[in-house]
Structure 1
């Protein structure tokens, strides 16, 4: 019976399967498993700690009246920058102008008595030289002059105090900054040194970020050779509440010389420039603080590190014979999407990052280097 043309492909497929089965029965090994690897490099790694903090103004001034009276005018726009010495409020000054006028009149009276005492003292001095009057009369004239001189000084002080009170009827900005909302209105009665502030001025460039760090971590940081930023050498970066990075870098300005007994932490103050007033007091941020520098450390991709049943970090490495080895690692900490490894790996090792589920120790594999673009994108 003739064989149709359609039967030839089926027959060839059956013959190939039979041939493959005979090859496996004859002891043929499967081809090496392809894996993706990353070749490691040694470098000095700066450890970074992410610390939470709050933004605070570098200068805060609560504006309060120093004299009592009725507010007649507010002379600033809320939420706008003001310069030091700029007028903010004006208090009715009629009573203070009258007080100054009365003080000036008292000064004029004291000065007139002073001039009269000076003439009397001079006359008694001349008479005494001619032995016309007694020494007692001259002494009385001298005492009267000294009393008049003192009265003039008291009157001058009263004029100065009245002038100060009159000047304080114009409430001025004690510092330069951004003025907040006004807590009083025109026509309100205010008193000297009252508890509630009329408004608050905040200096927003630069700003401070106060963060907390454990005393143990601070000791490690200081032992690594880091110093407080007298030279502004400790560069610090900032991450905002939405996860984005702040465009300006700051520096560590100061550390509270005190450890909180309850929490065991130290308050660190970081200073950041804020030319656009993007950072506002009270804003929650995260500070990326450098802690220490590890020399010749290895950064291993996190996807290439696993844990055994005891929780120890392990990595699969392809040796020079393209065979898989298992390494136990000493991991210092994480750094982004990598692990900082101080023992177990060295420069030049090829760590398996793809195909881990299909390999085991001792297997021969075909390593393929992961493209650099993929590695950079994952970072």
Structure 2
């Protein structure tokens, strides 16, 4: 019993040493394994010596379209007011209101009876003028030999020849009067001057219309194709022309796209036709006109739309991923650039617009600069970093402790 009780403290001491040694080895092993990433993650973090590792992209100049998003309003390709050219009473309306009409189609029928009578009278006057002319010609022909024989006086011959010429003039006048009467008779059928969609009728059957009246009796609009009048500020237009003159941009012939009032995209692309040569003094804008196909008639005159198109191509722009651009408290765009000595340099850049997932930088960067796009939250200006190309995997060094720890 005495021997058994004396050996128990020795066994307990050996057990305590073994537990302490095992805990120490486990702690060292955990410390060695966590040394590859100062942030406790397998991603991009600090290097072997505590230097932050950042991912960068090498930026280069590229050709970037200068895209403008401007407000516009649709207008008809052609507009024609229908007005009568003769006075009379409307006897019939020969079209469907709001429907399509073709050029030359009869729209209204004016009472033709007075004009038919005028044509008949003009024809009778022409026949009388021809009869008088023939009689004058015959008399002049008979007087000619008699005058040579002095059977009649020379004055009588002169009068006969003059009457024959007056007869010719009377025939021409009567013929012109007949043509006028026939034209007025044709005008009793009011035709469509252009093809397109016609409005509602502003007169009814039985209404009296007059020639050259100021009020239109209907309006026709051609909607395919259709115009979009785009408003651009004179300041933006001046900046664009200066960029084109300096050689930093070249003209673009990109198609114009439309965004409708409900936010949807119009399915057809258009082209810019011309730009106004004057600035509207009330709005300070210049009007650009674009033409779009409209086969389904989706666009109607007077609709507000948003036009998206490229007026020029910037040949000196630099694209920087969005992750590499931040804003300071004043709202200025800034980027981190890796210098030659691998130290961080903060630069203020001009980035006023985006293209896809990139910022378009027009000032503040040079081709070949290494812009930090990964790990920007862990660096500050002047800090030494380990730059690697963006997207490359992190290399973790193996632990330097004893094997089996």
Normalization by structure 2: what TM-score?
A: 0.75
Match of 1:286 among 296, 306, 311: 306
Is 1:308 the counterpart of 2:328 in the alignment? yes
Q: Distance in 2 between matches of 1:180 and 1:300?
A: 53
Any unmatched runs of 5+ in structure 1?
Answer: 3-7, 227-231, 372-379
Match of 2:280 among 251, 260, 263: 260
Structure 1 residues 337 and 191: CA distance shift in structure 2, 3 A: farther
Q: Which residue of 2 aligns with 1:150?
A: 169
Q: Which residue of 1 aligns with 2:222?
A: 203
* Conserved 8 A contact 1:210-1:268: yes
Superimposed CA distance per residue, residues 107-128 of structure 1 (whole angstroms, 9 cap, x where no aligned partner): 1111111111111111112211
Is 1:275 the counterpart of 2:295 in the alignment? yes
Matches within 5 A, 1:1-379: 16=27, 32=46, 40=59, 42-222=61-241, 234-241=253-260, 242-317=262-337, 325-331=345-351, 333-335=353-355, 338-346=358-366, 351=371, 356-361=376-381, 362=383, 364=385, 369=390
Structure 1 residues 74 and 38: CA distance shift in structure 2, 3 A: farther
* Conserved 8 A contact 1:236-1:289: yes
Structure 1 residues 114 and 43: CA distance shift in structure 2, 3 A: same
Structure 1 residues 326 and 203: CA distance shift in structure 2, 3 A: same
Q: Distance in 2 between matches of 1:370 and 1:94?
A: 89
Cα deviation, residue 342, structure 1: 2.5
* Conserved 8 A contact 2:252-2:311: no
* Conserved 8 A contact 1:36-1:354: yes
Any unmatched runs of 5+ in structure 2?
Answer: 1-8, 13-18, 40-44, 47-51, 246-250, 393-405
* Conserved 8 A contact 2:90-2:109: yes
Out of 170-179 and 290-299, give the one that drifted further.
290-299
Cα deviation, residue 146, structure 1: 1.8
Cα deviation, residue 289, structure 1: 3.5
| Secondary structure of the corresponding residue to residue 257 of structure 1 | coil
Cα deviation, residue 260, structure 1: 2.7
| Secondary structure of the corresponding residue to residue 261 of structure 1 | coil
Structure 1 residues 347 and 192: CA distance shift in structure 2, 3 A: same
Q: Distance in 1 between matches of 2:264 and 2:38?
A: 53
Q: Distance in 1 between matches of 2:304 and 2:350?
A: 34
Cα deviation, residue 351, structure 1: 4.8
Q: How well do the aligned residues superpose, as a CA RMSD in angstroms? A: 3.5
Structure 1 residues 355 and 189: CA distance shift in structure 2, 3 A: farther
Normalization by structure 1: what TM-score?
A: 0.79
* Conserved 8 A contact 1:240-1:284: no
